[in-house]
């Protein structure tokens, strides 16, 4: 697929909206953008004040 966006971060976010299994074949920058986005999603998922604390 050929596509354009203002940044690799924006491209990664838009590609996630497709909801399909994706594989990045080229562009280390796009792969890094997905890695950064995944880390942010994990942080949001782990930072839930409504969740019961585990002991």
Tell me the domain boundaries of the chain. 8-46
DSSP structure class, residue 17: H
**pLDDT tens across 27-52, in order?**
999 999 999 999 999 999 998 667 66
For the segment 14-23, the average pLDDT, to the nearest whole number, is 93
Query: Which stretch of DSSP H or E encloses residue 36?
Result: helix 28-46
The region, left, alpha or beta by phi > 0 then psi within -120 to 50, assigned to residue 50 is alpha
Residue 29 and residue 8 in contact, taking contact as beta carbons nearer than 8 Å:
yes
**pLDDT tens across 2-12, in order?**
778 899 999 99
DSSP three-state, residue 7: coil
Q: By C-alpha distance, which of 28, 30, 25, 23 is closest to 4?
A: 30
């Amino acid at each position: 697929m050929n596509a354009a966006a203002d940044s690799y971060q924006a491209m990664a976010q838009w590609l996630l909206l497709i909801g399909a299994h994706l594989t990045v074949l080229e562009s280390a920058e796009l792969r890094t953008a997905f890695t950064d986005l995944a880390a942010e999603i994990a942080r949001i998922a782990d930072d839930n004040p409504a969740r019961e604390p585990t002991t």
